[in-house]
Amino acid sequence: MSSAVQPLNTPTIPSLNPREGSVTAQVPAHVPADVARLVAKARAAQSAWAASGFAARAQALQRVRKRFLARAEELVRLLLEENGKPEGESWTAEIIACGDLFTFWAGHAEKLLQTDPVSLNPVNYPSKKGLVEYLPRGVVAVIAPWNYPVAIPLRNVVPALMAGNAVVLKPSGQCPRLSVALGDVFRSELPDGVVEVLVGRGPLGTELVKAGPDFVSFTGSVPVGRELAALCGSRLIPCAMELGGKDAAIVLADCDLERTAHGVVWGAFTNCGQNCASVERVYVEQSIAPAFLAKAKELASALRAGDDYGPLTTEDQRETVERQVAAAVAGGATAVLGGRRLRRPGFWYEPTILADVKDDMEVMTEETFGPVMPVRVVRDADEAVRLSNASRFGLTASVWTRDVERGLAIARRMETGVATVNNHSFTGALPAAPWSGVKETGFGATNSHLAIREMVRPRFVLVDRSRRREMWWYPYNARLKQAVVALRDLALGNVFALRRLLPAFRKRFE
């Protein structure tokens, strides 16, 4: 779908501005009947794209990168108007980091997917050479969420393309104008059909899986992820699922309090907390808890609505935040800061810090995805690790301490896919670093060699230069037994078996 004028009877979806709570445009949208056609179009384009080679694909994607950066101001404006993200955050999280993404994959994909030699036993398999090739799967389906509507899709689309796949991208229907613009960026520089973008809401993601792509990458909620994973399983389609988190920050008594408070407050409230790697639980050692809470409150109180944090992207998400906070306060938690809607149009909610929380509160067990930072006082690091690992999620976690070696040892005890010492959340922007999770966070990886290896299929190739019959071919006779017994004895370390092995081989092939 391009941004060109559509027929009057084309279905549309609204573009909703979460800062104002108002519809700003109606955007032409796809319907379920379009999905199979676009997957077929991508499949038809994929063979030539794969055959073009790494160098040609890298050059094409570098052109896409330039086009992407040239349209950055437009994309930032659309992020503001459809996602609510502040301008500074859009530039850092969605634009600049993605420029690096193109450069990394254009420069590293070929090396990461180079043919691997396979070691073969020269005695058992003489005159043979084995190798593993990595071939594109075909059509990769990317189903992406609304919280980072540029960065998350690109982290999957770019390596899939460099591996030689075509891509059908289903972005969130919350950002339809941005989806159209992102599709135009790719289509302007790539062959027709190599990237197709589905614009719309409802069952398009399900229909995309039913259309039979060769790999599915999904980022979103646990309930939807379960459904799509089951659908992929029923069709034997490999998939990767990143389904959210309930990240913990462990603040130790020996931390640099000033830097730690800045880092944890940013981790909790960046993108208005709508980040699968937001700090959603803070475990702070008792001796510094009052000082940490005071400093965190001071910093969070200074955040400016509109400049430092935006609104929740949807009214439903704000209602989730309100419900969790209200239940926590009713259960005995204290709102040290915030806890209310902002009195202005749109889906705004104050940065909120909760103290006196209990471990079984929903705000401590379920993903909040909003500007809420619950703080739980603990006796020591061991208690903090135990409580952190009690979560059913396992995306990222952080440890804050001046003793880096101790922090590293604690971080390695965390049941997460990412663990950081004295920082939090940002490593998803590093294309060379795997981003993955455990438990109900899902499976598979974004970024790094692990991600691109999921988007290819291995093929083993064997070349045999032998001119003799194989030892294991017919006939199964006494000479075969002599040869294999000698091989067995050699494998057990009997070097004298070599004296029997060579004559046995010669007799076997006479």
State the average pLDDT over residues 339-353.
97
Residue 15 has what pLDDT?
97
Q: State how far the Cα of 396 lies from the Cα of 466, in Å rounded to an integer.
A: 52
Residue 508 has what pLDDT?
72
188: Cβ–Cβ under 8 A, 6 or more apart, which residues?
A: 64, 67
The model's pTM is 0.95
Using pLDDT thresholds of 50, 70 and 90, give the confidence band for residue 224. Answer: very high
Residue 156 has what pLDDT?
98
State the average pLDDT over residues 149-167.
98
437-469 pLDDT per residue, tens? 999 999 999 999 999 999 999 999 999 999 888
Q: Is the pLDDT of residue 6 over 50?
A: no
Q: Do residues 246 and 366 touch, judged by C-beta distance below 8 A?
A: yes
257-305 pLDDT per residue, tens? 999 999 999 999 999 999 999 999 999 999 999 999 999 999 999 999 9
CA dist list (Å): 285 to 282, 336, 375, 385, 399: 10, 18, 10, 12, 12
Sign of CA dihedral 438, 440, 442, 443: positive
**H helices of 113-244, where?**
151-162, 176-187, 204-210, 222-235
Using pLDDT thresholds of 50, 70 and 90, give the confidence band for residue 2. Answer: very low
Using pLDDT thresholds of 50, 70 and 90, give the confidence band for residue 483. Answer: confident
Which pair of structure tokens corresponds to residue 43?
């499949």
Secondary element (H or E) of residue 22: strand 22-28
Q: State how far the Cα of 112 lies from the Cα of 456, in Å rounded to an integer.
A: 11
* Domain residue extents for the chain: 35-243+449-458, 247-430, 471-508
Task: Report the mean per-residue pLDDT for the chain.
Answer: 95
Q: Is the pLDDT of residue 384 over 90?
A: yes
* Cα–Cα nearest to 79, from 228, 169, 179, 5: 179
Q: Is the pLDDT of residue 130 over 70?
A: yes
Q: Would you name the residues annotated as active-site residues?
A: 242, 276
Q: Is the pLDDT of residue 79 over 70?
A: yes
pLDDT above 90 covers a percentage of the chain that reads: 91
CATH number of 35-243+449-458: 3.40.605.10
Comparison of pLDDT for 442 and 478, the residue scoring more: 442
Annotate 219-242 with DSSP letters as a single string.
Answer: ES-HHHHHHHHHHHHHHT--EEEE
Residue 9 has what pLDDT?
55
Q: Is the pLDDT of residue 5 over 90?
A: no
Residue 379 has what pLDDT?
98
Q: Do residues 321 and 312 touch, judged by C-beta distance below 8 A?
A: yes
Using pLDDT thresholds of 50, 70 and 90, give the confidence band for residue 1. Answer: very low
pLDDT above 70 covers a percentage of the chain that reads: 98
314-329 pLDDT per residue, tens? 999 999 999 999 999 9
Q: Do residues 168 and 208 touch, judged by C-beta distance below 8 A?
A: yes
State the average pLDDT over residues 1-18.
68
Comparison of pLDDT for 467 and 74, the residue scoring more: 74
In terms of residues, how long is the chain? 510
Q: Which amino acid is at 121?
A: N
Q: Do residues 231 and 216 touch, judged by C-beta distance below 8 A?
A: no
Residue 510 has what pLDDT?
65
Residue 300 has what pLDDT?
98
CATH number of 247-430: 3.40.309.10
